[in-house]
Structure 1
Amino acid sequence: MTSAAGRTSAAGRLDRLVRQVQAQARVPAVSAAVHRADRPLWTCTAGGTGNDTALDEQTRFRIGSVTKTFTAVLVMQCRDDGLLDLDDPLRRHLDLPAHGELTVRRLLSHTAGLQREPYGDVWDTLRAPDTDQLITELDRAERVLPTGRRYHYSNLGMALLGHLVGQVRGGTWAEVLTERVLTPLGLTATTTTPGPRAATGFLVDAYSDEAHPEPPTDFGAVSPAAQLWSTATDLARWAAFLADPAALDAAGRVLAPATLDEMRWPVTVTDEAVWAGGFGLGLILVPQGERVVHVGHDGAMPGFLAGAYGRRGGEGTPGAFGAAVLGSSGTAVELLELPHRLLAAAVEHDPADIDPWRPGEPAPPDVRGLLGRWWGEGFEYVFSWHEGALRARGAGDPPGKPPAVFAPVPDQPDVFRTVSGRENGELLRLTRDSAGVVVRMHWATYRFTRRQETFDGFDFRV
Structure 2
Amino acid sequence: MTEVSRRLERMTRQVQVEARVPALSVALHRADRPLWNCTVGGTGNDTPLTEASRFRIGSVTKTFTAVLVMQCRDEGLLDLDDPIGAHLDVPAHRELTLRRLLSHTAGLQREPHGDVWDNLDAPDVDRLIADLVRAERVLPPGRRYHYSNLGLALLGHAVGRLRGGTWAEVLADRVLRPLGLSATSVEPGPTAVTGFLVDAYSDHARPEPPTDFGAVAPAAQLWSTASDMARWAAFLADPAVVDPTGAVLRSGNLDEMRWPLTTTDETLWSTGFGLGLILLPQGDRVVHVGHDGAMPGFLSAVYGRRGGADTPGAMGCAVLASSGTATAIMELPHRLLAAAVADDPAEIVAWAPGDPAPEPYRGVLGRWWGEGFEYVFSWRDGVLRARGADDAAGRPPAVFVPLPDQPDVLRTVSGREVGELLRLTRDERGAVVRMHWATYRFTRNQETFDGYDFRRSDAS
Shorter-chain TM band: over 0.9
Counterpart in the other structure of 1:374: 368
User: How much has 1:315 moved relative to structure 2?
Assistant: 1.9
What does 1:21-40 correspond to in 2, within 5 Å?
21-40=15-34
2:306 to 302, 312, 327: 312
What does 1:1-400 correspond to in 2, within 5 Å?
8-400=2-394
Task: Render the CA deviation track for 1:260-284: whole Å, top value 9, x for unaligned.
Answer: 1100000000001000001000000
Task: Render the CA deviation track for 1:335-381: whole Å, top value 9, x for unaligned.
Answer: 11111111000000000000000000000111011100000000000
Q: Normalising by structure 2, report the TM-score.
A: 0.98
Secondary structure in structure 1 of the residue aligned to 2:287:
strand
- After TM superposition, the structure 1 stretch with the greater mean CA deviation from structure 2, 147-156 or 85-94, is 85-94
Q: Report the AA paired with residue 69 of structure 2.
A: V
Task: Render the CA deviation track for 1:290-348: whole Å, top value 9, x for unaligned.
Answer: 00000000000000000100000012100010000000000000011111111000000
User: How much has 1:79 moved relative to structure 2?
Assistant: 0.6
Q: Report the AA paired with residue 394 of structure 1.
A: G
Q: Report the AA paired with residue 100 of structure 2.
A: R
User: How much has 1:286 moved relative to structure 2?
Assistant: 0.4
Once residues 32 and 455 of structure 1 are traced to their aligned partners in structure 2, the CA distance between those partners, rounded to angstroms, is 58
Counterpart in the other structure of 1:4: none
User: How much has 1:102 moved relative to structure 2?
Assistant: 0.5
Once residues 408 and 326 of structure 2 are traced to their aligned partners in structure 1, the CA distance between those partners, rounded to angstroms, is 59
Once residues 296 and 319 of structure 1 are traced to their aligned partners in structure 2, the CA distance between those partners, rounded to angstroms, is 16
Runs of at least 5 residues in structure 2 that lack an aligned partner in the other structure: none
Once residues 251 and 295 of structure 1 are traced to their aligned partners in structure 2, the CA distance between those partners, rounded to angstroms, is 21
Once residues 413 and 42 of structure 1 are traced to their aligned partners in structure 2, the CA distance between those partners, rounded to angstroms, is 48
Once residues 236 and 226 of structure 1 are traced to their aligned partners in structure 2, the CA distance between those partners, rounded to angstroms, is 18
User: How much has 1:410 moved relative to structure 2?
Assistant: 1.1
What is the identity percentage for the equivalent residue pairs of Structure 1 and Structure 2? 76
Secondary structure in structure 1 of the residue aligned to 2:279:
strand
User: How much has 1:248 moved relative to structure 2?
Assistant: 1.1
Q: Report the AA paired with residue 34 of structure 2.
A: P
What does 1:399-414 correspond to in 2, within 5 Å?
399-414=393-408
Once residues 355 and 406 of structure 2 are traced to their aligned partners in structure 1, the CA distance between those partners, rounded to angstroms, is 23
1:417 to 400, 411, 415: 411
Once residues 332 and 291 of structure 2 are traced to their aligned partners in structure 1, the CA distance between those partners, rounded to angstroms, is 13
Once residues 175 and 358 of structure 1 are traced to their aligned partners in structure 2, the CA distance between those partners, rounded to angstroms, is 47
Once residues 248 and 9 of structure 2 are traced to their aligned partners in structure 1, the CA distance between those partners, rounded to angstroms, is 32
Secondary structure in structure 2 of the residue aligned to 1:309:
strand
Once residues 141 and 364 of structure 2 are traced to their aligned partners in structure 1, the CA distance between those partners, rounded to angstroms, is 47
Q: Report the AA paired with residue 435 of structure 1.
A: R
Secondary structure in structure 1 of the residue aligned to 2:407:
coil
List 4+ stretches of structure 1 deviating above 6 A: none
User: How much has 1:413 moved relative to structure 2?
Assistant: 3.4
Secondary structure in structure 2 of the residue aligned to 1:307:
strand
Secondary structure in structure 2 of the residue aligned to 1:151:
coil
Task: Render the CA deviation track for 1:74-123: whole Å, top value 9, x for unaligned.
Answer: 01101111111101111111111100110111100000000000000000
Secondary structure in structure 1 of the residue aligned to 2:177:
helix
Q: Report the AA paired with residue 343 of structure 1.
A: L
Q: Normalising by structure 1, report the TM-score.
A: 0.98
Counterpart in the other structure of 1:450: 444
Counterpart in the other structure of 1:436: 430
Q: Report the AA paired with residue 128 of structure 1.
A: A
Secondary structure in structure 1 of the residue aligned to 2:367:
strand
Task: Render the CA deviation track for 1:218-256: whole Å, top value 9, x for unaligned.
Answer: 000000000000000000000000000010111111001
